[in-house]
Amino acid sequence: MRIGVLRVTINLYAARTLKEKRSVIKSLLVRMRRDFNVSAAELDRLDEPGSAVLGFAHLAADGRYSDEVLNQVLRRLSRSREYMVEDHRLEIL
């Protein structure tokens, strides 16, 4: 059994308030959970309207599958017009 962990820092373009940020982040996390069957949460920068640190985890029998799924998550995040991926780190444990 392998666990894949993806940590992503994003900058939100249009969020000027925490309320706007939370709306974008909540919707994003729900979509990622639904589309990729991953666990997802906001991890850091909770009180900064312009950025967020998100975490995604995927559990599988084969680490290559978790790597593939989390790379798909990263590609999806990278295509957004609402935010920009600033940094990311992917690990298979």
CA distance 18 to 50: 8
Expressed as residue numbers, the domain containing 33 is 2-92
In percent, the amount of the chain with pLDDT more than 70 equals 100
| pLDDT at residue 14, as a whole number | 83
Q: Give yes or no for residue 82 having a pLDDT over 90.
A: no
Mean pLDDT of the chain: 95
CATH code: domain of residue 77: 3.30.70.1120
- In the chain, how many domains are there? 1
Average pLDDT score over residue span 29-57 = 96
- Given CA atoms 93, 56, 34, 13 in this order, what sign does their dihedral have? negative
Spatial separation of the C-alpha atoms in residues 51 and 42, rounded to whole Å:
11
With a cut of 90, say whether residue 31 has pLDDT above it. yes
